[in-house]
Structure 1
Amino acid sequence: MAATHVNPTRMELTRLKKKLVTATRGHKLLKDKRDELMRQFLDLVRENKALREKVEAGIAAANQNFVLARAGMQAPVLDVALMTPKQEVFLECSARNVMSVEVPVFTYQTRTSDANDIYSYGFAFTSSDLDAAVKSLADILPDMLRLAEVEKSCQLMAAEIEKTRRRVNALEHVMIPQMQANIKYITMKLDENERSTQIRLMKVKDMMLEQAHHYSEHVPEPA
């Protein structure tokens, strides 16, 4: 139903028609954005599921190896072996734009490029289970960072999808129907005014013709 405060003029009708074209185009663009966000979101959800299973399996294997290492080594020896690590990891966080959503990108680098620097101890007094635990944790690190990146991206994209969905629904069910109703209301009022004007003009014409006819009947004939 058209709003009662709409001014039924041709200028307002032209303005509403332009606004309706813009709203319709924006509605289509927002729907395309929502659909593309949903596609990429579902891809990330599938990747997140696979990464989480892989990371949890890697952590479980590392914990199992640590339990075996603690069972085969004395606690003070294990504590000393892990007390002073040789390797360091430097994490950098940047962002990339995905459909106007700034998602994080995690990159890391190690202090040295030697893969054996993950072992901060000698191999003489430690068990192989400790080596396997340290190696499994080092191997799972890239997947852990990627998992954190994907999960945060999923959260941000889900929020953007919800916001875009609300905008699409507002345009589709509120703004566009209201503008269409206002345009219809103004068009009907203008047509009604035009018909009224035509009727008035016809009546004025009839009155003028009637007056002219009566006047000609009362004019005396020349002698």
Structure 2
Amino acid sequence: MSARDKINIFPSRGAQTMIKARLAGAVKGHSLLKKKAEALQMRFRQILAKIVDTKTLMGDVMKDAAFSLAEAKFASGDFNQGVLQNVTKARIKIRSKMDNVAGTNLPVFESFEDGVDNYELTGLSRGGQQMAKLKMNFKRAIELLVELASLQASFVTLDNVVKITNRRVNAIEHVIIPRYERTLSYILAELDELEREEFYRLKKIQEKKKQARDRAEKEKAKLKEQGLDVYGHANLIADNEDEDLLF
């Protein structure tokens, strides 16, 4: 296992607890990010379908607007210069707001009318019906253009966010979580090895103590065979409590 396959950390119980907590957090974060990516992709497909429908409708509306402009010019003559000279401010304006989707702010544009129609008397002498149709068709065209611009802005924003979210999900799933799992396996293996070494060390200590006791028993048996008082001699093996010495 190379250094890039796991986190460089000293194997201990504290490190094991920390890596377990990080692994649990990574798994939970992966689940939340995956749900966010699914929600964003669902909204992305909805916006894409709306863009296709709006563009299809936009072609029909612009065609009707162009025909109504030709009809109005035919009925009322060339009125472009008169309209342009009287224009002081736009009557149809745009405002923007934000739509929150799974923590992502999407720009939304809306059109609204500000003021009154200064050209309601245009075409009164002739071509009034064609002028009203012209206004209605171009107003519908502007509203569709604003809606399409809003959808396109949301589409681009969502496209970037979906790509970033998917990269994060893949990074957590294929890099971070496996690295934590390998680190945890490494810590557990090292702790098991330390436990085996400690068990072997304690076993050897017990064996040494048993050998020392056996030697002491043999020495006592020899002294007893020689008729010596084995209980009168100090036992070097026994852990007797000595009195404190004061100097």
Verify same fold: TM over 0.5: yes
1:16 aligned partner: 19
1:90-129 to 2 correspondences below 5 Å? 90-112=93-115, 117=118, 119=120, 121-126=122-127, 129=130
Larger helix share, 1 or 2: 1
Name the aligned partner's letter for residue 190 of structure 1. L
* In 2, Cα distance between equivalents of 1:137 and 1:208: 103
Q: 1:84 aligns with which of 79, 86, 93?
A: 86
- The range that moved more, 43-52 or 13-22, is 43-52
| CA–CA distance in structure 1, aligned partners of residues 120 and 145 of structure 2 | 20
Which blocks of at least 5 consecutive residues in structure 1 are unaligned?
Answer: none
Q: Aligned pair in 2 of structure 1 residues 178, 4: CA closer, same or farther (>3 Å)?
A: closer
Distance 1:22 1:45 in 2: 34
1:29–1:148 CA distance, 2 compared to 1 (3 A): same
Q: Given residue 80 of structure 1, which amino acid in structure 2 is its aligned partner? A: G
Q: Which has the larger radius of gyration?
A: 2
**Matching residue of 2:67:** 64
Which residue of structure 2 aligns with residue 140 of structure 1? 141
| Percent identity between the two aligned chains | 22
Whole-angstrom distance in 2 between the partners of 1:95 and 1:129? 38
Task: Verify the 8 A CA contact 1:93 1:106 in the aligned structure 2.
Answer: yes
Comparing 155-164 and 184-193, the one that deviates more: 155-164
Q: Equivalent of 1:25, from 24, 28, 38? A: 28
- SS at 1:7's partner residue? coil
Residue range with higher mean Cα deviation, 175-184 or 99-108 = 99-108
Determine the C-alpha separation between the residues in 1 that align with 2:7 and 2:129.
Answer: 82
Q: Deviations over 1:123-142 (max 9, x none)?
A: 32557555433320112332
**170-179 or 122-131: which moved more?**
122-131
Amino acid in structure 1 at the alignment position of 2:190: K
Q: Deviations over 1:150-198 (max 9, x none)?
A: 1111111111111110110000000000000000010010001100110
In the alignment, which of 2, 6, 19 is matched to residue 3 of structure 1? Answer: 6
Q: Does the C-alpha gap of structure 1 residues 159 and 42 become closer, same or farther in structure 2, counting only changes over 3 Å?
A: same
The question of whether the paired residues in 2 share the 8 Å contact of 1:91 and 1:109 is answered with yes
Higher relative contact order (Cα pairs below 8 Å, separated by 6+ residues)? 1
The root-mean-square deviation of aligned C-alpha atoms, in Å, is: 2.4
2:161 alignment partner in structure 1: 160
Structure 2: give runs of 5+ residues left out of the alignment: 229-247
CA contact (8 A) 1:20 1:180 kept: yes
- Asked if 1:44 is matched to 2:72, the reply is no
Residues 107-126 of structure 1 show CA distances to partners (whole Å, capped at 9, x for unaligned) of 3332346xx65646233255
Contact kept in structure 1, 2:7 and 2:180, CA below 8 Å: no
TM-score, structure 1 normalization: 0.87
